[in-house]
A and B are shown apart, each in its own frame.
Chain A
């Protein structure tokens, strides 16, 4: 005779039921076993649906319960699991792993020029490449660049809001903080609110963030003036250009200074800083740190005189030895012993560097180079435009044509025609986009860089899992 299992049907449950049924079944069977309860508990299946919207959250997730209540969403929080709680099949927990190690583990000997970290970066094409960062790269970044550009001391408290899987948060955040004996405050889930509260709570002295975060926070404090911490002695922005008005507003509100940094994963983060204050030049990435050589080369590897645009190249102790398992790409990256950044720009008479474009983003049409960045910067100045991305698409004759993706400001009525007319009034005709597409947002990376490859037609969503893939 077939076994008899129980089926429990709960079609009008709520979010707590999703947790409570299986845990009741488990607890019943396990405690029943120990307490010698009279009832024999069978194998069981529960089929349920909820009658109201709900969020099921783990014990470590922070949820705004007020907002949930206001939006009619139930929130059920799972109790913190202990040693004896259910565990995903085929895995172990970090605490089990750590229980196998000693508090007094003796570190191994390792050559400082061996890789410490691989960080994967998405280029404009192809799959992410693993950038090798050696032990020495990280140490040199702290000892030379951070010491000089940030001047951290062991009295500092840093805000760790940038993701640690990114070079900027890892090298200039966590590792710098440890190197200089600072306190590092971790924020696991960014929101402007969480960031602002954390700065107050830990009396942070250094904020390292990206432009979108500065913009969000400035907007937030405009609405609620009372909660402004004034402990920040210094702030750094990087990852993408910071609009000058945001910078000014943040500096005035928080009584701090923001410096804009420039660096790549391939340079273990920052190599250049545009220091706020007297020497600040809008639109510049600043001057390189003293242990960093930075030049502008033409396509044949000759150094260009100041003022002329070419590729920015770097030589320094923070430069990666290359890409993991990609000898050809590594050779191309490090031609002639110089790291080729792929950024186009120039150096002015005072030694400040300016970036004009990404080399690979340049649009070539009718023999002219068109700078997407120039068009984007124009679009940003339009009062109804919140965000924009400009790139090349193939036209009917397979030539490169300019396409602009434009995100209108909230509640703004904006038409494609308006955008085209605005470009027509402000740009030479060959630079005016052939196509304008209005959209709700443009895809961005964790540090706020526009992911242009995701906007290209035929982009393949790598998150999908296809059959047989």
Chain B
């Protein structure tokens, strides 16, 4: 009954060999989609070729920080076909846990979820060997709470900055001054990532780009909030609840009081004038923008 005798003695050739035998057979099932062995093999080939194009060579380490999604499998076998070494690690790891693995393995590339961008950006300068970060998936999961979170977003021409790197620094500087207004004096800004206080996260910053525009998105924690409410909706095993989110702090935890959103807005505006060297004029969305706004909202709430 067990007649599968694969002759491959390595993972470099295994998938190719199995594919020859089971071309059209289902290999991977995922949320209603199916990938045959032939499709899996082709996708793995593309990853291998892509990594090679990046300059990854036999023996190089490539880290994978992905949940169980097809891209994990494509990446894993792509790395194998190239003769590189896969370093898959725990998707719940944060901060120095990730730094240690990337540095110890000397990974030259990392394949992760785009929703981990803030996490990875923040440690990237601590990982000198890491040359390439490749993102996949749309698995953002952010909790917002009336008392707890305030959001600052900028959509500006890239030319507002000498280089995009500056977008992080300016936003970091801005938020530091803003929380400073409310009595947070010991916070600091970690490169390309977040505001921290005693190691914990106080605000998070993500910069993305599209065409000539930079989009800076920041969330500031004004008050601690109870994540248990959210865990009623997102099921997380009790043992790992404290591992799924980064350790967080808030303005209230640090100073004993929570700024009102009005005060927060005033502080943001005041310091943004200085930092960006511009004036601000209160406004609303214009006609050209209203359409996009309504479209996004209806898409967001569709069931």
Known: A5-B156, A87-B114, A118-B61. 14 other contacts (CB 8 A): A16-B297, A30-B213, A46-B155, A54-B143, A55-B143, A56-B140, A94-B111, A94-B135, A101-B47, A101-B50, A179-B4, A183-B28, A462-B95, A467-B188
Residues in chain B near residue A76, CB distance under 8 A: 300-301
Indicate whether A65 sits within 8 Å of B83 (C-beta atoms), given known contacts A58-B137, A88-B208.
Answer: no
Q: Are B207 and A88 in contact (CB under 8 A)?
A: yes
**A440 to B231 CA separation, bound complex (whole angstroms):** 15
- Minimum-distance CB pairs A-B, first 10: A101-B49, A464-B199, A135-B10, A27-B292, A58-B138, A28-B289, A105-B45, A97-B50, A24-B293, A191-B235
Question: Quick check: is A187 within 8 A (CB to CB) of the other chain?
Answer: yes
The interface bits of chain A over 1-41 (1 if a CB of B lies within 8 angstroms of the residue's CB, else 0) are 01111111101000111111111111111111000010101
Q: Let me know if B51 and A97 touch, CB within 8 A.
A: yes
- Please state if B247 and A181 are interface contacts (CB–CB under 8 Å): no
Chain A residue at minimum C-beta to C-beta distance from B75: A94
Distance (Å) between the CB of A208 and the closest chain B CB? Answer: 12
Q: A47-B150, A76-B300, A181-B4 are in contact. Are A63 and B234 (CB under 8 A)?
A: yes
A165 contacts which of B88, B150, B243 (Cβ < 8 Å)? B88
A residues less than 8 Å from B9 (CB atoms): 112, 135-136, 139
Partner pick for A467 among B80, B196, B208, B247, CB 8 A cutoff: B196
Q: Are B229 and A73 in contact (CB under 8 A)?
A: yes
Partner of B241, one of A85, A179, A441: A441
Judge whether A3 and B279 touch: CB under 8 Å. yes
A93 contacts chain B at the CB level, 8 A cutoff: yes
Inter-chain contact A118/B30, CB cutoff 8 Å: no
Residues of chain B within 8 A of A254, CB atoms compared: none
Question: Quick check: B21 and A48 within 8 Å, CB to CB?
Answer: no
Chain B residues lying within 8 Å of A56, measured Cβ to Cβ, are 140-144
CB distance A4 to B278 under 8 Å? yes
Q: Which of A147-155, A303-311, A390-398 contacts B (4 or more CB under 8 A)?
A: A147-155
Q: Does A227 contact B (CB under 8 A)?
A: no
Contacts of B302 in A (CB 8 A): 77
In B65-86, the 8 Å CB interface with A consists of 65-78, 80-83, 85-86
Q: Which of A41, A58, A152 contacts B115 (CB 8 A)?
A: A58
Interfacial chain B residues near A50, Cβ < 8 Å:
144-146, 149
Which residue of chain A is the closest to B4 with respect to CB atoms? A180
Contact with A along B267-303 (1 / 0, CB 8 A): 0110011001111111111111111111011011111
- What chain B residues lie within 8 Å of A364 (beta carbons)? none
Asked whether A61 and B140 contact (CB < 8 A) given A47-B152, A98-B43, A181-B18, the answer is: yes
Q: Which of A68, A90, A99 is most buried by chain B, counting CB atoms within 10 A of its CB? A: A90
- Taken together as a complex, chains A and B put the C-alpha atoms of A306 and B232 apart, in Å, by 50
Is there a chain B Cβ closer than 8 Å to A347's Cβ?
Answer: no
Residue from the list B46, B247, B264 in contact with A102, Cβ < 8 A: B46
Q: Do A71 and B229 have beta carbons less than 8 Å apart?
A: yes
User: How far in angstroms is the closest Cβ of chain B from A48?
Assistant: 5
Nearest residue in A to B277 (C-beta to C-beta)? A2
Q: Is the CB of B264 within 8 A of A47?
A: yes
Please tell me if the beta carbons of A7 and B47 are within 8 angstroms of each other in the complex: no
Which stretch (A156-164, A245-253, A423-431) binds chain B? A156-164
Min C-beta distance of A297 to chain B, whole Å: 30
For A42, list chain B residues within 8 Å (CB).
283
B29–A157 contact, CB under 8 A? yes
- Proximity string of chain B (242-257) to chain A, C-beta cutoff 8 Å, 1 when within and 0 when not: 1100110000000000
Closest Cβ of chain B to A7, distance in Å, is 4
A466 CB → nearest B CB, Å: 5
**Residue A225, interface by CB 8 Å:** no
A119 to B64, CA, bound (A): 11
Q: Which residues of A contact B206 (CB under 8 A)?
A: 88
A412 at the interface (CB under 8 A from B): no
- B101 near A128: Cβ-Cβ < 8 Å: yes
Neighbouring B residues of A23 by C-beta, 8 Å:
292-293, 296
Give the interface SS of chain B, mostly helix, strand, loop or mixed.
mixed
From A334-342, A369-377, A442-450, the one touching the partner chain is: A442-450
A417 to B25, CA, bound (A): 60
A421→B71 CA distance, assembly (Å)? 53
Q: In the complex, are the beta carbons of B160 and A57 less than 8 A apart?
A: no
Query: Which residues of A sit under 8 angstroms from B235, Cβ to Cβ?
Result: 64, 189, 191-194
Give the distance to chain B from A290, nearest Cβ to Cβ, in Å: 14
CB-based nearest A residue for B117:
A88
The complex places the Cα of A469 from the Cα of B289 at a distance, in Å, of 43
B8 CB–A CB distance under 8 Å: yes
Known A114-B83, A118-B105: A8·B285 in contact at CB below 8 Å: yes
**B261–A465 CB distance below 8 A:** no
Contact flags (1/0) for A94-108 with B, using CB distance below 8 Å?
110111111111011
A324 at the interface (CB under 8 A from B): yes
Distance between Cα atoms of A56 and B235 in the complex (Å)? 16
- Which residues of chain A in 176-231 are interfacial with respect to chain B, using CB atoms and an 8 Å cutoff? 177-181, 183-194, 202, 212, 216
User: Nearest chain-A residue to B124 (Cβ)?
Assistant: A90
Q: How far is the CA of A82 from the CA of B237 in the complex (A)?
A: 33
* B100 and A127 form a contact (CB under 8 A): yes
Q: Across the interface, which residues of A come within 8 angstroms of B294, CB to CB?
A: 20
Whether A466 contacts B81 in the complex (CB less than 8 A), given A5-B156, A61-B140, A202-B29, comes out as no
- Any B CB within 8 A of the CB of A283: no
Interface: B127 (CB within 8 A): no
Q: Is A124 an interface residue (CB 8 A)?
A: no
Contact with A along B139-172 (1 / 0, CB 8 A): 1111111100111111111001000100110000
- Residues of B close to A78: CB separation below 8 A: 138, 140, 300
Q: Would you give the shortest CB distance from B263 to chain A, in whole angstroms?
A: 11
The reply to whether A107 and B12 contact each other, CB–CB distance below 8 Å, is yes
Complex contact B140–A58 (CB within 8 A) = yes
Q: How far is the CA of A152 from the CA of B18 in the complex (A)?
A: 14
Contact A55 B234 (CB under 8 A): yes
Closest Cβ neighbor of A47 among chain B residues: B265
Closest B residue to A410 using CB positions: B238
* Residue from B2, B151, B157, B238 within 8 A of A48 (CB atoms): B151
Mark each residue of chain A from 120 to 142: 1 if its CB lies under 8 Å from any CB of chain B, else 0: 10000001101000011011001
Please state if B144 and A64 are interface contacts (CB–CB under 8 Å): no
Instruction: Give the residue of A93, A151, A153, A165 whose beta carbon is less than 8 angstroms from that of B135.
Output: A93
Q: In the bound complex, how far is the Cα of B207 from the Cα of A86, in angstroms? A: 9
Docked Cα-Cα span, A204 to B287, in Å, equals: 53
Residues of A with C-beta under 8 A to B37:
181
| A184 surroundings in chain B (CB, below 8 A) | 27-29, 73
Q: Which of A3, A79, A147, A165 contacts B91 (CB 8 A)?
A: A165
